[in-house]
Structure 1
Amino acid sequence: MLFSCKEENDNTAFYYPAEWESHQAIYIGWGYEAEWKREAWPFIIDIVYALNGTTPIIFLSDTSENVQVLKDFLLNKNISPDDYEFISLPMNNPMAPRDIGPVYLLNGRGEKKVVDFKWAAQEAYKEFLIARGIEASKAAEYASFLERNQKVDSILAIKNGHEVISSCLTLDGGAIEVNGKGTILLNEYWMLKYNNGIPKDSIENELRRTLNVSNFVWVGKGLMEDPPDIATIIPGYFGAGTDGHTDEYIRFANATTILLAWVDENERDKHPINKGNYERLNETFQILKQAKDQNGQPFNIIKLPLPDLIYRPVVVVEGWATSDTTVGISLFTASDGYKVGDTITQVAASSYLNFLVSNDKVLLPTYLHVGGSKEKEEEVKRIFTKLYPDKDLVWIDAMKYNWEGGGIHCFTKQVPLSTNFRKN
């Protein structure tokens, strides 16, 4: 497999910029037709208010969505739609631009390219259906509606005149965490599972070719409350998630600092999910203590507290549909042992690591309104204030999206500013 061997100070070499580098705009997903999409509108408005006047916003929606509905909604909130761009694309579920949106590359000349990775959800949904008794060909047919999302990144790239680099790798945007200097963090379990049959050295070679990274830090599994699709976590408890995207548990804060979600030892034995998370995160912590950056230097590792577990009782009902109080039995496997009428517990994918760094603000989730620990949130505030002294911290209620397995970072996607120049 071929890849570029250009010197790092060669301004023609493309690289994947870190999130804290300047943004030209931020994509926000918007949906109207489904009820759960409309319920996310207050969350959208909070993000718009947070970014207003500092970072341009581009709304992405399905071609079936009525953009005028969103414009009217913005007007009702005293927000002028004339200040924003609206793009409709042939895609399903526009609410997750992080994972399906373009992976932009920049070079020192201000030129842009886009990498078109495969999106994991289509194959994952097919396997989800097979595990629940759907015949394989039928499962593939049912999952085919997600095919349209596989080219969202390429369509946006071509629309803006950017060259597209096609890749054989499956790599969702929420699973890409780089420091902009050549180092990438990779969830080994996730990468090998969703790139079944591709060995680690081939994955590394392809990431060298596409993202121009040179230093690979393979870390442990993600959070237990971030399972694949909808799945039982421990008996009687289930969650919805991505199966371990890095933006739920491990992030770069700057080129030398890694934030790692953490469960303290005094909380480890309070709940089986806490214990499981402690074991997973401690495995990654031990890896990070031995890891080096692209220059051979150790990382500064900061443990960021996980919110207290957030969960709610739901009743098992017939079918596939879910609500705030019910869940369809067809979403589970026979081995889960649930029966219609059972009350089981849903756990939210809550994490302070699902944050967004914008040009002059950091958007963070808050959990105080649902009984979260004030002491933990104060600790998170202290850490981020120190890390980003020149940026305002904006706290947003992301719970509606947490129940669906996402958060602020998933809901957004930055477009890097083309005038950036790589600093070595």
Structure 2
Amino acid sequence: MKLLIFSVVVSLLMCSSCSSPYKEKFMVPAEFDKQEYIWLSWVENGFLGGEPFYFTALNAMKEITPYVKVRLFYGPQPGYNKEQMERRIYEKLIAHKIDTARITLFYNESAYGAIQDPGPVFLRNAKGEFALADFNFIHPDKEAEAIDRNVAAKLQLPSIASKMVSEGGAWQTNGNGTMLLVESVELDRNPKMTKLQIENEYKRVLGVTKIIWLKNGCKEEEWGKLENGKYGIGTGGHIDEFCRFVNNNTVLLAEVDVKDTVGDAISRESYHRMEANLQLLKLSTTAEGKPFEIIRLPAGSLMTKKIDYKSLTKNEQSWFNDVTADSVEFYLATGYMNFIIANNVIVTARFWKEGLPLELKQRDEQAKQIVEKAFTGRKVVQIDCMPLHHDGAGVHCHSRNEPAAKK
């Protein structure tokens, strides 16, 4: 532990008062560029009545490993110490016929699921040298805030530190200077900062040069009890749920079907928010002055889960305020936008199962066709991500990209 702390201190000192340790400017690469690893997390438990998170991790690894290696983030969990967890993970990998030579285990003192937010943000300079961004992160699990520093120490990488609160799923970059942010998230997490101050900090740490502000995510992504008595368990507007870069000047933007808004105030509000974001993107250009090509991707069908409130753990109960009934009903974080780009494969969600309405199957197929057309030449696979949707998340939320040294 002393060695780990020493390494972190050295890493921060190399930052030279939070400036780059090298002359070359660091910049955060795009997820659609070549990747060396995809980070995934292994968590034994589920959340809010969902199946264990690792069910989805296994499905994702099976699809990703033929195209890019995986770093699997894990920690001690109830009933398993480090060695027991390693044995259990390898047993599961082998049972699911996943090439273990393509998997590197990364041990952390505590396990964590949605590593997109507090996990390592890799930066790269023109020489192909790496550093990590170290943002502040607010979470009930205090150890989560140190994940990026732990990774930096173990990989012996310098850090560029910031006191600003930032969550990985809250922003998107094209790797060439352009960044997309969401007002409802950034201003909520940093109430004492202005938009200009937030912009300047992202420019300093991530090397971006132009920032475009969108307004809100979908209504059901809000946190807490909504007007219809159902609960939102989302992030309040993380962009990886509704808008993603395809290439330097092409984005996918969620589209709520007008038919879904009839008689549903939540869908109606989400529709208006996405159309407002559409207009903002139409009026914007990249850092090079190129207009955006905007491809609309169907929003996921609204799906909810009702569960007995008393059956929840204290941690799970803390997600719900003003409970006046024996059960709580909450929106699952459905949608197709929360995908992983892993070199030549895109891993996204599907929702139809035997016994469910065929409309879900048709929407799954429509979404897949649109993503295939957007990412020409890449394979698109849909997997069951429902365990993660119970966490207010998706497969992208439970992952991070580690870029190759060169494009």
Shorter-chain TM-score above 0.5: yes
Which segment is superposed worse, 289-298 or 209-218? 289-298
1:171 deviation in Å? 0.8
Relative to structure 1, the CA distance from residue 160 to residue 315 in structure 2 (aligned partners, 3 Å threshold; closer, same or farther) is closer
1:274 aligns with 2:286: no
Within the candidate set 191, 195, 199, 1:200 is matched to 195
Within the candidate set 68, 88, 97, 1:55 is matched to 68
Matching residue of 2:283: 290
Relative to structure 1, the CA distance from residue 385 to residue 77 in structure 2 (aligned partners, 3 Å threshold; closer, same or farther) is closer
Provide the secondary structure at the position in 1 that maps to 2:28.
coil
1:332 & 1:189 partners in 2: Cα distance?
A: 20
1:353 & 1:99 partners in 2: Cα distance?
A: 16
Within the candidate set 109, 116, 125, 1:90 is matched to 109
1:117 deviation in Å? 0.7
Residue pair 1:183, 1:216 contacting (<8 A) in 2 also: yes
Give the aligned residue type for 1:292: T
1:177 aligns with 2:172: yes
1:186 deviation in Å? 0.4
1:316 & 1:157 partners in 2: Cα distance?
A: 40
Which segment is superposed worse, 258-267 or 76-85? 76-85
Matching residue of 1:165: 160
Number of residues of Structure 1 aligned to a counterpart in Structure 2: 379
1:224 & 1:111 partners in 2: Cα distance?
A: 40
Q: Deviations over 1:192-211 (max 9, x none)?
A: 11011111111111111111
1:103 aligns with 2:121: yes
1:116 & 1:150 partners in 2: Cα distance?
A: 9
Matching residue of 2:24: 12
1:318 & 1:415 partners in 2: Cα distance?
A: 39
2:405 & 2:155 partners in 1: Cα distance?
A: 12
Residue pair 1:261, 1:281 contacting (<8 A) in 2 also: yes
1:357 deviation in Å? 0.8
1:118 aligns with 2:173: no
Q: What are structure 2's unaligned runs of at least 5 residues?
A: 1-16
Provide the secondary structure at the position in 2 that maps to 1:286.
helix
Provide the secondary structure at the position in 1 that maps to 2:117.
helix
Matching residue of 2:335: 351
2:168 & 2:368 partners in 1: Cα distance?
A: 26
2:380 & 2:342 partners in 1: Cα distance?
A: 10
Matching residue of 2:182: 187
For the aligned residue pairs, the C-alpha RMSD in angstroms reads 2.5
1:111 & 1:241 partners in 2: Cα distance?
A: 35
Within 5 Å, which residues of 2 pair with 1:201-216?
201-216=196-211
Which segment is superposed worse, 311-320 or 199-208? 311-320
Q: What are structure 1's unaligned runs of at least 5 residues?
A: 123-142
Q: Deviations over 1:136-168 (max 9, x none)?
A: xxxxxxx3xx22111211221122121100012
Residue pair 2:65, 2:99 contacting (<8 A) in 1 also: no
1:237 & 1:159 partners in 2: Cα distance?
A: 43
Provide the secondary structure at the position in 2 that maps to 1:414.
strand
Give the aligned residue type for 1:61: Y
Provide the secondary structure at the position in 1 that maps to 2:226.
strand
Residue pair 1:4, 1:208 contacting (<8 A) in 2 also: no
1:344 deviation in Å? 4.4
1:367 deviation in Å? 1.4
1:204 & 1:248 partners in 2: Cα distance?
A: 21
1:398 deviation in Å? 0.6
Relative to structure 1, the CA distance from residue 158 to residue 268 in structure 2 (aligned partners, 3 Å threshold; closer, same or farther) is same
1:14 & 1:382 partners in 2: Cα distance?
A: 36
Within the candidate set 43, 67, 78, 2:97 is matched to 78
1:314 & 1:200 partners in 2: Cα distance?
A: 39
Give the aligned residue type for 1:219: L
Within 5 Å, which residues of 2 pair with 1:208-357?
208-228=203-223, 231-317=224-310, 320-321=313-314, 328=317, 331-334=319-322, 338-339=324-325, 341=326, 343-357=327-341
Q: Deviations over 1:263-283 (max 9, x none)?
A: 132322241211121122122
2:122 & 2:395 partners in 1: Cα distance?
A: 19
Q: Deviations over 1:367-392 (max 9, x none)?
A: 12254533433332222222222111
Relative to structure 1, the CA distance from residue 379 to residue 155 in structure 2 (aligned partners, 3 Å threshold; closer, same or farther) is same
Within the candidate set 40, 54, 57, 1:28 is matched to 40
Matching residue of 2:3: none
1:23 deviation in Å? 0.7
Which segment is superposed worse, 63-72 or 385-394? 63-72
Residue pair 1:11, 1:109 contacting (<8 A) in 2 also: no
Q: Deviations over 1:249-297 (max 9, x none)?
A: 1111111111111113232224121112112212211211211211222
TM-score of the two chains, using structure 2 as the length reference: 0.86
Provide the secondary structure at the position in 2 that maps to 1:406.
coil
Residue pair 2:18, 2:160 contacting (<8 A) in 1 also: no
Provide the secondary structure at the position in 1 that maps to 2:295.
strand
1:236 deviation in Å? 2.4
Matching residue of 2:5: none
1:38 deviation in Å? 6.9
Residue pair 1:16, 1:105 contacting (<8 A) in 2 also: yes
Which segment is superposed worse, 82-91 or 269-278? 82-91
Residue pair 2:32, 2:247 contacting (<8 A) in 1 also: yes
TM-score of the two chains, using structure 1 as the length reference: 0.83
Q: Deviations over 1:200-245 (max 9, x none)?
A: 11111111111111111110111222223xx222332113222211
Give the aligned residue type for 1:316: Y
1:105 deviation in Å? 0.8
1:11 deviation in Å? 9.6
Provide the secondary structure at the position in 2 that maps to 1:350.
coil
